[in-house]
Amino acid sequence: MRTAKYLSYKNNGLRLLYILSRWVLHHFQIKYGINIPYNTVIGSGLYIGHYGGIVVNHEAKIGRNCNINHEVTIGATYGGKHPGIPTIGDHVYFGPGSKVIGGINIGNYVAIGANSVVTTDIPNNAVVIGNPAKIISLNGSTNYIVNTDW
């Protein structure tokens, strides 16, 4: 994914390598069931705990050291209260089956529980669960994050 993104900005005879990297990315998206487009902005340290069913909008912005489990969707809405694409902070944990939808901001050190549907802004250090997601504590995601650099 990162190779395809890097090569997309190069115009110096690497076009064939860019096409090959896009083909390899597409192959692995089908093989593993993870659809994260090459032009998605993702910070370093992304951790995917399990393969399968992960869908991320190409305009989403994901911060550093985030953990994404299986069946997670980070998607857009084009109407309603919060149209747009989510912006995810650093050190965010996505529980299995969680959905983050719309033009919302997820703060740093947030833990999103399994099968939660987040459609509103979430502040830093929040733990949210449910459909629609509700804040249950401000203990954050420090016990859930695998890759840390703090």
Residues annotated as catalytic (active site), given as ranges: 70
Entry field: residues in the chain:
150
Other beta carbons less than 10 A from residue 16's beta carbon: 9
Q: Report the alpha-carbon angle 98-52-50, nearest 5.
A: 80
Q: Which long-range contacts (CB under 8 A, 24 or more apart) does 136-139 make?
A: 139/111
Distance of alpha carbon 14 from alpha carbon 44, whole angstroms: 25
Separation between Cα atoms, residue 89 and residue 122, nearest integer Å: 10
